[in-house]
Amino acid sequence: KEEAKEEVKEEAEGKKEEAEATEGGGEVSWAVLEAQDDMASKACREYLEKSEARAGFGKLSEAETRLTVERDAKDAEALKAGIAFAQSKGVLEQIEPAPYTMIDVLGKTAADVAEIMVKAMGEKAQTGCVMVLVGLSGTGKGTTMEKLKGMLPKATTWSNGNIFRSLTLLACQHCEKEGIELEKLEEQLTPENLKAWMERLKFGKFNGSDKWDVEITPLEGEVVYVSAVQNSLLKEPRISKNIPTVAKCTQGEVVLFAADACTRMGEDGSVVLVEGREETINFMPTEFRFCLTMSDMQVIGKRRAVQRVVAEALKLKESGKSPSEALTEAVTKLAEPEEAKPAPEEAKPAEEAAPAAAEAPAEAPAAEEAKPAEGGGEPTWAVLEPQDDIASKTCVEFLEQSAAKDAFIKLSETETQLTVDRDAKDADALKAGIVFAQSKGVLKEIEPAPYTMIDVMGKTASEVAEVMVKAMGEKAETGCVMVL
């Protein structure tokens, strides 16, 4: 233990010396950058805050802070919904979470934080226990866990991922056995089925091995072990595709399985390290509970920004640029899209064509006003200001034939992916809410009525509206409900 601890200290001190050389705006070396650890992050942050790229780095950091907080809040809400669902089924009890030891990581290295935790565990760091770690993204949980593994010879980590995958495997096998399409898998996640599938998962030491494992008794075929199939059977496309659906409905079952497994390993002499979100970690029984905090939230954004900047800068190592030149170029590249959100900087020509202030829109121009722009002509301010479908069509036609064509295509591809991803995430959240309502008997399971499909390609909003009004017939005059 002492040798491992000393190695971590020596490594940290060496990196610290290199990092200190950058204070005051000095050069950062490639050796520091390539480590991509907490010391590299600190050195680069100090350099960038005093370099000519500081303005761009500041904007990028602010954006990363905002995105991190928003993402964590959204993830927390999703987990809370999963826990509430488990409690409504009676899988989890309502509890008063045990308190956490708060550690402000501002000004501390990951090694400093890890030492505080090891000291708090006392002799249990040698004899075995369970330690849990929570905190906002960007506070260094992952890096701290790596330091702990280096300092604790008996350390082992736990992740719920393979348990969710094992359940998804059983759910897929159930659908295949019953002749049910996998698209309808969510309907099969009933309390009865989940209870039966959980009974097919066993945690222990098997076949004379001294290593802990999870045994899966499939619906068909021979018993398999997670250690043997985690990179094959549990990574099949059908599992990867359906694991989000299974995970949102099985938080309670997996939390209980994890709590039992970690407790048993701790009692057996292992130091079990568990990192996660408070919503689920609250149910892990242990006295060693830590929460990493950051008294200056802007530092979180700077840490996340530095991670992106360093990764981008390393791509330029073979170009002959110095580390400082590479960092500056990376900041410029990454910060430009942030300056132009929601549209990345590549779309600058479109920004220059947009009105400078949000004034009251003029009356919508007739479709004919858009025609002069066809064939690559200049759009007029009168066309742009309404910001309607005609303005959109005109700008698309102009940009696709302008000098900004390549940048516009890149921006469009990014927006397409973001839109599809966001819609999919929203749909999953709504499905979970509906399943919850059905489990309580508030809503019945139904076969949705068909929709009239309208391809809007090449149509204006007015043309689409006319199709719908025509379909409603006289009900458009006498009254009805129309959904879109």
For residue 441, count CB atoms less than 10 angstroms from its CB and return exposed for 0-12, middle for 13-18, buried for 19 or more: exposed
Written as one letter, the residue type at 460 is: T
pLDDT of 117 reads 97
Other Cβ atoms closer than 10 A to 183? 10
Other Cβ atoms closer than 10 A to 310? 24
Let me know: does 131 contact 288? Beta carbons within 8 Å.
yes
Alpha-carbon distance of 431 to 421, in angstroms, equals 15
Let me know: does 438 contact 188? Beta carbons within 8 Å.
no
pLDDT of 224 reads 96
What are the beta bridge partners of residue 291? 102, 134
Closest CA to 266 of 122, 115, 127, 117: 127
The mean pLDDT values, 10 residues at a time, for the chain of 484 residues are 55 48 60 83 86 87 88 89 90 92 93 96 95 92 93 92 95 95 93 95 94 94 93 91 91 95 96 94 95 89 85 87 86 67 37 34 39 54 76 80 81 82 82 83 88 88 90 93 96
Written as one letter, the residue type at 117 is: M
